[in-house]
Structure 1
């Protein structure tokens, strides 16, 4: 719910950055847990496992009293018919008065988009057969795909097993391996916030495209370095250092690209009525594929050794054409533009279509929003002309 809520409460030019901050909180916690693991590895009593469990309660105790103070999403309020409450929230989020032009335009745009979306609503069976004009099935599959690609880029294979990998294959001592894992987590945490500088200017597509190729290169070099250490024990330390360096570089590449973008994408691409379902399906995909990767990693390392990471190198290369051909850009657009984007471009292929891949809001979507609001106001005049004239 966190990415969905953030996405529905912020302006388009800030949405990517705020969603990345939210996703980077996961990376921050990962870095913190790495240092806790390292610190507690020197102990052998019950505190070694009791303290990590206890520390997790601290964050829940912060969130619990603050949650009731958070307003509902204005888009959800409009979706369920609480129009006045939605205006109040829009005014609070924009630091405007309820009667301001900014609030009125946002309110009219969201309201008109919901009305249009409802007019295109079809039975669930037709949605699952991709027979609805707004293509909700396609828009559900796209974020699930980003989460699948995130996990099969190999992040959790390295994240969970890096101490084991460094100890059993590279030859570092167990304590040194744990220390290097904690250092890697810290660099991972710092790199995650680099995306704040370009997540909205470059867009989601370019970060995923460039990230996939750079991650593939890191996996390939790591595999070759591990092979070198296996074939030439006399130079194991040199090759081991190269492997460690590119594992760290991999995390530094992954952090500002594939760490946060799948969560951003899932919160943006779905329609208002399907946004929570799409985000839920994407999150479920993340966890089930993450579980699968973690389960087969140890077996893969034991049996394939250095060659195991070639699998991830090949997969990362394959992610490039998938994103290039099938993933539209969502940066710079209002959430209400998403329906228009898929209505105007029913083909699953997006390459070569400027309004589908440019990181700035296309003029066609601005014109469509003006038309939606105008049509909505005409409908009001036709239905209740007396009330409209008095207003």
Structure 2
């Protein structure tokens, strides 16, 4: 197999791209329902979600069921991410991806063959479980396999693919809108099987993370894979230095050699709980910007609220997803130049403006210009959000997590994202029916809160190794310190200093 001969940055790119295909499946499945919740053939198969041909109490009841059908995918994803707490450290990174692919295959098949409300609900939740495992594994895996200078770019490729998945789903739905019968929605539901087949066929050839292998005491295997990632000989001093640095960071976090401490709630000098809260809050704030209200319900917003035709609504919706993908593409070029903090602040700040503007404009749609201006701000939001607050929080959570609990922090990051995604998807149809334009004010406020939290508590991690980022938290004495420490800590601080310190500590333990 050709992938077995790839090494260096080429190997890192292969891993990043294949992991990104998993996020394409995630984006596609998250958005695909958006296109046919108003299709007559879909409503005939599942009349319980019909909000087009119903009124009054029946429409309100159906809105709740529709919200459940859309949102249960997120609930399944949260369950999948939660499972990473238990399987992630047992199976390793590539094997966890294989399990995710197998579960997604089952879920997508159930969805595409559905003939009832119960079946579509089961299919959505099973697919979500597989996607949740992907989101709890892939960003961590790519972060661990990438060098510090290119880590941001390689991880954020996942965002481009995920949002391209949303765009593909929208355009497929638009094309199938002109077909008749159940094929108009069964084909879009079945299409992800093609992408999943690609992942399942190539994942077995991917190398395990050296950091995971070191954590498991398999140092020789880790050395061989690290040499491949660095395109050097296994005996090269640079490879030995990198392995020693990872071991030093792990043992310093554990406390003493051979003793595994994976308590994510500890608040000793390694600040596990502190890091866990930061990681989980990042994905929470992404969802609480309200971006998925736009992404998940754009067709019905354009069709029912802004009074566009079904065809125009789907064109606008598909173009919105393209704007998302362009924003994610922009992030790739900025993340390792500008940094994480500035981009996250930019995105949350942009959402404050966008949500406030949409709220004000849609409060009076008697003026046609207001509706057109609202469309502009929808596009503005969809372009600006992924620049700093889509895949970035997933990567950031893996970056700041110590190796001993990285799988736990990565899972918690994904769980937070999916639970708040579920909440937003479940509440949105009801909130839009009851408070209308005022609903957007909620997300303007939560986006503003996100800006404040990021500014006060999120240290910059650009250009630092994962082990070096540990130093930022180890040298912090309070929750307010990491931002300041990150600004003052010299780049490359942890190389020989940490290794020497660990060697002295180990020697002292042996003498005692």
Normalising by structure 1, what TM-score?
Answer: 0.90
Alpha-carbon distance between aligned partners in 2 of 1:70 and 1:55, rounded to the nearest angstrom: 25
Q: Relative to 1, partners in 2 of residues 1:374 and 1:124: Cα closer, same or farther, differing over 3 Å?
A: closer
Aligned to 2:8: none
Query: Conserved in 1, the CA contact under 8 Å of 2:473 and 2:482?
Result: no
Give the paired residue count. Answer: 373
Q: Distance in 1 between matches of 2:309 and 2:330?
A: 32
Q: Bigger relative contact order, structure 1 or 2, given CA contacts below 8 A and separation 6+?
A: 1
- Note the C-alpha offset of 1:101: 2.4
Question: 1:131 aligns to what?
Answer: 267
Where does residue 209 of structure 2 map in the other structure? 73
Mapped contact 2:159–2:325 kept (Cα < 8 A): no
Question: After superposition, what is the alpha-carbon deviation per residue over 1:328-376, rounded to whole angstroms, capped at 9, x for unaligned?
Answer: 22222111123321110021014761x3257xxx32x634431222234
Q: Following the alignment from structure 2 to structure 1, what is the Cα–Cα distance between the partners of residues 399 and 507? A: 32
Where do residues 203-282 of structure 1 align in structure 2 (5 Å cutoff)? 203-229=339-365, 233=366, 235-236=367-368, 238-282=369-413
Residue number in structure 2 paired with 1:313: 444
Give the whole-Å Cα distance in 2 for the aligned partners of 1:123 and 1:104: 25
CA distance in structure 2 between the aligned counterparts of 1:134 and 1:351, rounded to whole angstroms:
12
Instruction: Encode CA deviations 1:295-315: one digit per residue, 9 max, x unaligned.
Output: 111111111222211111111
Is it true that 1:371 corresponds to 2:497 in the alignment?
Answer: yes
* Further displaced range: 274-283 or 337-346: 337-346
- Which residue in the other structure is 2:326 paired with? 190
Paired residues for 1:58-207 under 5 Å? 58-119=194-255, 128=265, 130-207=266-343
Q: Distance in 2 between matches of 1:307 and 1:338?
A: 41
Distance 1:257 1:302, change over 3 A: same
**Of 356, 361, 369, the match for 2:486:** 356
Q: 1:91 to 1:123 in 2, by over 3 A?
A: closer
Give the match for residue 304 of structure 1. Answer: 435
What's 2:111 paired with?
A: none
Is the CA contact (8 Å cut-off) linking 1:17 and 1:196 kept in structure 2?
yes
- Within the candidate set 309, 334, 349, 2:465 is matched to 334
Residue aligned with 1:200, SS: helix
Q: Which runs of 5+ in 1 are unaligned?
A: 385-391
| Counterparts of 1:377 and 1:357, CA distance in 2 | 28
Q: Distance in 2 between matches of 1:21 and 1:352?
A: 26
Secondary structure of 2:466 counterpart: coil
Q: Match for 1:8 among 144, 157, 164?
A: 144
Q: Is the 8 A contact 2:267 2:274 kept in 1?
A: no
The equivalent of 1:388 in structure 2 is none
Query: What is the rounded CA distance, in whole Å, between the counterparts of 2:219 and 2:370 in structure 1?
Result: 63
- Sort the Cα spacing of 1:379 and 1:226 in 2 relative to 1 into closer, same or farther, 3 A: closer
Q: Please list every run of at least 4 consecutive aligned residues from structure 1 whose deviation after the TM superposition is greater than 6 angstroms.
A: 120-125, 379-384
Using the TM superposition, give the Cα deviation of residue 181 of structure 1 relative to its aligned residue in structure 2, in angstroms: 0.2
Quote how far apart the aligned CAs of 1:246 are: 0.7
Residue 55 of structure 1: CA displacement?
0.9
In 2, Cα distance between equivalents of 1:295 and 1:357: 41
Distance 2:314 2:415 in 1: 30
The residue number in structure 2 matching 1:322 is 453
Sort the Cα spacing of 1:215 and 1:350 in 2 relative to 1 into closer, same or farther, 3 A: farther
CA shift, 1:261, in A, is 1.1
Partners of 1:112 and 1:343 lie apart in 2 by 14
Q: Return 5+ residue gaps in structure 2 as ranges.
A: 1-136
Structure 1 residue 48 corresponds to structure 2 residue 184: yes
More displaced stretch, 375-384 vs 282-291: 375-384
Structure 2 length normalisation: TM-score?
Answer: 0.69
User: Measured at CA, do residues 320 and 20 of structure 1 come closer, stay the same or move farther in structure 2, by a change above 3 Å?
Assistant: same
2:468 touches 2:493 (CA, 8 Å); kept in 1?
no
> 2: CA distance between counterparts of 1:266 and 1:381?
33
Q: Which residue matches 1:387?
A: none
- Partners of 1:260 and 1:103 lie apart in 2 by 29
User: Does the Cα contact within 8 Å between 1:16 and 1:200 map onto a contact in 2?
Assistant: yes
Q: Which of 290, 315, 334 is matched with 2:421 structurally? A: 290
